[in-house]
Structure 1
Amino acid sequence: MKHNFKNMSGYVFNDCKVIERVESKNKRAMWLCECFCGNRFIESGTRIRNGSKKSCGCLRKKKTSERNTTHNKSQTRLYRIWCNMKARCNNSNNPAFDRYGGRGIKICDEWNKSFDEFYKWAKISGYSNELTIERVDNDGNYEPDNCKWANYSIQGRNKRNNALSEYNGELRTRAEIAELTGLSYGTIRRREQSGIDFDKPIR
């Protein structure tokens, strides 16, 4: 049976352009397209018309790369502090959510959307690797006017009902150990119960 396909040659969608018709696949019209980056790819007319195809795949790769690299700061302690702060406030599955996001503690939009903005504030506010973030008002949000950097002993006195464990010769809360080691709360709790060193690699 002969199928009549609409000629889409020259059709522009998102940042791509249809070049020409190619061999059909499973009775679907297929088209050779060129992405704005210069790459060429083949796609069905249906996906082109409904807008589900945005590029050759370069945009997805670019966004993934940006999320992973975060301007070469993704392996720093400060980046882990930012991620843990967001997890405590935004992720209902996080073990600490009930004490943060679950009771209304939020992160200001500026920090929540951009690590770079949090990084800039941290640097001008005196951050160093010996310090951890503290909210001045324990019932207030994570925002520039309500946050400062404090050493662990000072912050520990400001915390209530904290379970403390020894790490590198000092008593730390689970949140602090998580920031220092990158371990999850569940792993920290299991290692506490089993007497396993927090720095031992996960197998």
Structure 2
Amino acid sequence: MPARNRIPLPIGTQLGVFEVVSLPFPLLVPGRSGQSQTRNRYFVRLRCTGPDCEWEDDVREDDLERRKTAACGFCYISLDVDPEARIHVERVWKGRPQTYDRYRYHGKSYDRLHRIWANMRERCSNPTSEKWKRYGGRGITVDPGWENFRAFEAWALENGYADGLTIDRINNDRGYEPGNCRWVTDLENLLNRARYLPTPLHEALEARAAVDDVDTYSVIRVALEALRAEREQIS
């Protein structure tokens, strides 16, 4: 098999809280003839840059992108770390007693706001996401400053975030950035999306709303409820 075209990361490259300390190298495994053979997998040695952290290991090259936002599993330092949030640790590791202060995660991985942040980044950066075509696939991106959850959380709390509200882009053709986002109800979000429907569909929606003497949201809600009931009868 021909060698892949490779663009190795220079030694010293920073990947979040990690630093590259070697060029990529292949995994060698014993072949049938007893000699080592190269698999089409490459590794890079990384080390944690946390104070007094001893973690250093070989990481698969296809896992390096995730490491840009990952926390160190040894000292728990991360891009989202609170420098004042430390936990005193006394333990025995690999036969050696250790005493040190490790960092603590932000502890909000299961919060609603963290899910909103994670889903926002997923649909804009992951081509396998179901919503990729409507977001990342057409150039919608997330502001680089919001790659850090702490920064996104601070903006959200300062700009009206509350349970029950969703993030909405004011200009549907621009990305997720502080000047283009707001917190709205589901109804406001739905009406904002309706402005970008194809003209014939939007006109039909408004015409039906006028006939029924309701708003366009009610027309959509009734249609969805009817569709759900029809599917339940079929199943």
TM-score, normalised via structure 2 length? 0.43
